[in-house]
């Protein structure tokens, strides 16, 4: 069964900490995405990557960076965590032209910044 795995289900971090959220997929997908999900706002795109070492900003990249050194791994970095980054973070992957299945999502990381 295809999988997108996010390293942590729940995280609690302090304001100002550097936070790493890891995502690994085993489907050899080219595209990977990081979204955050907040009540009433739906899923908002933070960053995406369409190839190793390639990245593009999404709609809300401020305060975040990403790294994709290997095809299967896409990391989201909060350089200095703030309370307004408390949210559910979802990673997803897809293959170009894979019109039958859209994204495959990870189970999410619920991050609380205190």
Partner 1 sequence: EDKVVQSPLSLVVHEGDTVTLNCSYEVTNFRSLLWYKQEKKAPTFLFMLTSSGIEKKSGRLSSILDKKELFSILNITATQTGDSAIYLCAVEDGSSNTGKLIFGQGTTLQVKP
What residues make contact with partner 1 under the rule CB under 8 A? 4, 31, 33, 35, 40-45, 48, 50, 56, 58, 90, 94, 96-108
Smallest gap from Cβ 62 to partner 1, in A, equals 17
| Dihedral class, residue 41 (left if φ above 0, else alpha if ψ from -120 to 50, else beta) | alpha
Size of the chain in residues: 114
Smallest gap from Cβ 41 to partner 1, in A, equals 6
Q: Are 23 and 29 in contact (CB under 8 A)?
A: no
Q: Which is nearer to partner 1, 6 or 85 (CB)?
A: 6
Smallest gap from Cβ 15 to partner 1, in A, equals 28
Of 37, 20, 41, the C-alpha closest to 108 is 37
Q: What angle do CA 11, 106, 15 make, to 5 degrees?
A: 25
Q: Which is nearer to partner 1, 66 or 81 (CB)?
A: 66
Q: Which is nearer to partner 1, 13 or 57 (CB)?
A: 57
């Amino acid at each position: 069964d295809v999988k997108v795995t996010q390293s942590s289900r729940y995280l609690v971090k302090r304001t100002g900490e550097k936070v790493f959220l890891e995502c690994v997929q085993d489907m050899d997908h080219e595209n990977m995405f990081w979204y955050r999900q907040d009540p009433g706002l739906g899923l908002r795109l933070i960053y995406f990557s369409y190839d190793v070492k390639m990245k593009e900003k999404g709609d809300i990249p401020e305060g975040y960076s990403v790294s994709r050194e290997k095809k299967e791994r896409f990391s989201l970095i909060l350089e200095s965590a703030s309370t307004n980054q408390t949210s559910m973070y979802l990673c997803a992957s897809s293959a170009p032209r894979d019109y039958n299945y859209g994204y495959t999502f990870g189970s999410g990381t619920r991050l609380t910044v205190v």
